[in-house]
Amino acid sequence: MSTINKSATQISSTILSNKRIGAYHQILLSIGDLASLCRPGNFVAIAVGDESSKMILRRAFAISRITHGSASGGAMELIVAPHGSGSRWICAQPEGSDIDIVAPLGKAFGIPTSPVNALLVGGGYGSAPLFGLAEVLKARGCRVDMLLGASTGSKIYAPLEGKRSASTLKIYTEDGSMGERGRVTAPISALIQRGTIDVIYSCGPMSMLRAISDLTEGTDVVHQCAVEESMACGIGICMTCVLPVKGEDGTISMLRSCIDGPVMDSSTVAWDLVGKTPPAVTL
Amino acid sequence: MKIDYEGFDFSTSLADASFPSPIFTASGCASSGKELAQFFDLSEIGAVVTKSVMNKPRHGRPTPRMAETPSGMLNSIGLQGPGIDYFLANDVPWLLNKGSRVIVSIAGETIDEYSVLARKIRAVQGISAIEVNISCPNVENRGMVFACQTDTAARAIDGVRKIIGGEIPIIAKLTPDVTDITSIASSVVDAGADALALINTVLGMVINLDTMRPHLGGKTGGLSGPAIRPVAVRAIYQVHSAMPQVPILGMGGVASGRDALELILAGASGISVGTASFGDPSAIPRIQRELHSLLLARGFKSLREAVGYAHRSIEEGS
C-alpha cells in the first residue's frame, strides 16, 4: 500500500447524535473499527449535500474525540461551527442519517515518549481536538495545562468531561463575557520564561498559531500547531492547501497541509510567506 | 486487469496507445497517483494522467488557491511541481511498478521548454502517451496563452513532435477559452498532434465580499466541475464533427457514468475524471462501473461503437 493516506478509508457513517452546544454542534459519528486508527490531530473529510447538491467538495473537520467500545463499535466526535453552506448542511442532519466520510486523514500530534509539561492552546472550536489530545498526554504521565480563547463566551468549547484531563484550564474572551478579558496568547510569554513548559500544542486560527510561534521562537519550547488552510480534497491531490515550509537546508517548499499537516512544527513554517509566493526554486 | 467486463469490449485507444478502459485520471487532479492508490487499484483504470510537469521545480501561486462555486470550483495552483527530473526518476517508476498505464502531462513557458521536456521523456521507457498542456502563458510573447492562437499552439506541438513524434502519441490539451476551438484543433493536428484532450478549465474569478478583492491569490482561476460539462460536450462535439478521425480524450465536469457517456457520445474515445475525485476519492472506479452498465443497457457491444454516436444521421436510425 501507499504510504500517503495509509489509514484513510471511505465509509458511510451513521450520525449517532447531533447536539447544539453554544455556537457549535457536537456531532457523534459511528465509525466502527476506524476508531482504532484515529489519533489526536487527524481530520475527517465529509461529503455534503445530496446528489442534486451544487456543493461538490468535501468539508474537512478536526476529529475532536474518539470513543471505543459499546455494541456499535467506535465513535468519532466532531465540533462543527455552522458558518458556511457545507457546515450548516452537516449541522442540519438528524440523528440516524448516514453521511459519506473519509478518515482518518493528515498527520497527528506527536506524542512524547517520556512525560513532559504540555501547554494546550485552543482558539474557538480549535479547542475541540485538544481534549482528546489531553487525555492521551495525561495517560502518558504528562502535566497538561490548557488555555482556551475566543471572541466571546458562546464560542468557547470546553466540555465538562474534557476539563478533567487538564491540570489547569484558563479561558480568555476578547469581550470579557467568559473568563478573563483578552487574548489567549497573553499569558504564554510569562509561562515560557518561567521554564515550566516543554511543549505547546495549538489549534485555532492561523493568526493565533503565528503569534504563539513568534513567542516560542528562540526558546527551547517545541510548538506543534494544527494549521487551517482551505482545501478541496483533503487527500493530497488538489494542491490548494499548501503552506511554505522550511527544510533542513533552509529551502522553502510548498507543502500540503492535508498530508504534511495539519500538525506541523511551527518553527519550520515560513509564517511571513503564508499567502505569498516564495522565492523561485533554485536547482 | 481484474475487472470482468462480461464480454463487453471496454478497451479504447488514443492513436497508437491502447488502454483496457476509457476512464483516466485528469492531469492536475491526481497528483502523481500515490494519493489515490489507497482508495483503488491504479492498474484497474485506463491510465493515470499525471499532473502537468515543467522542466524546473516550481512553487506555484500563493494561497488562497481554491474557491468553491455553484457545481464547480476555481483553482489557481500555478503548476506547482517537483520538475521533470525528479518526476521521471521517482513518480513514473512508482506508477509503472504498480501496473498503471501512464500518460505524462507536460507544461512549458517557452517553445523550447516543451522540446526539452519531450527529450527527457523520450529517454524513459514505459510511458503510454504524452499530454501537452499548452494552456500556459508564453513568457516570450507577453504571457499570451499558447493554446489561444493557432500559430503558437502549433509551434509548441511541433517542438514536441520533432523530438518524440511517431514514438508515443502526442495529445494536445486545449482550452475552451477561444473563439473557434476547431481552428486551434486543426492547427495542432497539422503540427503533429495524434490526439486531442478537450477541455482544460475555463478561466474565471471570484470576488471575496469581505475583502472586496479577488479571492484567489492568483486573482483568476480555472473553473472545473459539473458547471463546465456542457462546455466540454459542445467542444468535443464540434471538434469530432470537424475531425472525426482524430481521437479525443474528453474531460470537463464528469462526475458519473452518465456524464462520461455523454462525452463519449459527443465524440470522446477516453474520459479523464478530475474534480470529481476531490469530492469522492473512489469516483474513478465508480464512474467506470456506471459507464460499463450504461453502455450494456443501451445494447452497445463495445465502447468504440458508442464514440461519437450522437453524430449519426437521422437515416442511421434511433
Assigned domain for A137 exists: yes
Q: Please indicate whether residue B313 or residue B72 has the higher confidence score (pLDDT).
A: B72
Structural domains counted in chain B: 1
Mean pLDDT for all residues in chain A: 92
pLDDT in the model for residue A57 = 96
B136 belongs to the catalytic site: yes
Q: Whole-prediction pTM value?
A: 0.94
pLDDT one-digit tens code per residue, B85-138: 999 999 999 999 999 999 999 999 999 999 999 999 999 999 999 999 998 777
The range of the structural domain enclosing residue B17 comes to 12-310
Pair A71, A89 in one domain: yes
Pair A42, A122 in one domain: no
Domain boundary among A189, A208, A226: A226
**Domain of residue B131, CATH code:** 3.20.20.70
Is A242 in the B-facing interface, judged by CB distances under 8 Å?
A: yes
Pair A185, A267 in one domain: no
Assigned domain for B6 exists: no
Is residue B286 predicted with pLDDT exceeding 70?
yes
Assigned domain for A2 exists: no
Is residue B6 predicted with pLDDT exceeding 80?
no
Mean pLDDT for all residues in chain B: 95
Distance (Å, whole) CA B164 – CA B188: 15
Confidence band (pLDDT; 50, 70, 90) for B39?
very high
Confidence band (pLDDT; 50, 70, 90) for B318?
low
Domain boundary among A105, A124, A157: A105
Q: Could you tell me if A122 and A183 are in contact, meaning their C-beta atoms sit under 8 angstroms apart?
A: no
Pair A118, A218 in one domain: yes
**Chain A / chain B CB contacts < 8 angstroms:** 130
Average pLDDT over residues A67-83: 87
Complex ipTM value: 0.93
| Out of A1, A54, A229, closest to residue B38 by CB | A1
In Å, what is the CA distance from A239 to each residue of A4, A230, B75, B303? 14, 10, 9, 33
Assigned domain for B175 exists: yes
Average pLDDT over residues B52-70: 95
The range of the structural domain enclosing residue A13 comes to 9-105
pLDDT in the model for residue A283 = 44
| Out of B38, B77, B225, closest to residue A239 by CB | B77
Assigned domain for B4 exists: no
Instruction: Determine which one of B136, B170, B198, B239 is catalytic.
Output: B136
Pair A219, A237 in one domain: no
pLDDT one-digit tens code per residue, A96-137: 999 999 999 999 999 999 999 999 999 998 899 999 999 999
pLDDT in the model for residue A42 = 96
Assigned domain for B1 exists: no
Q: Please indicate whether residue A282 or residue A188 has the higher confidence score (pLDDT).
A: A188
pLDDT one-digit tens code per residue, B261-279: 999 999 999 999 999 999 9
Pair A213, A128 in one domain: yes
Q: B88: Cβ–Cβ under 8 A, 6 or more apart, which residues?
A: B120, B121, B123, B124
Q: Test A277 with B61 for CB contact under 8 angstroms.
A: yes
pLDDT in the model for residue B27 = 96
Assigned domain for A62 exists: yes
Domain boundary among A226, A242, A261: A226
Pair A128, A78 in one domain: no
Is B280 in the A-facing interface, judged by CB distances under 8 Å?
A: yes
Assigned domain for B304 exists: yes
Is B59 in the A-facing interface, judged by CB distances under 8 Å?
A: yes
Grid coordinates of A154: 458562546
Assigned domain for B33 exists: yes
Is residue A1 predicted with pLDDT exceeding 60?
no
Structural domains counted in chain A: 3
- In 3D space, the residue among B101, B166, B102, B103 whose CA is nearest the CA of residue B133 turns out to be B103
Pair A271, A251 in one domain: yes
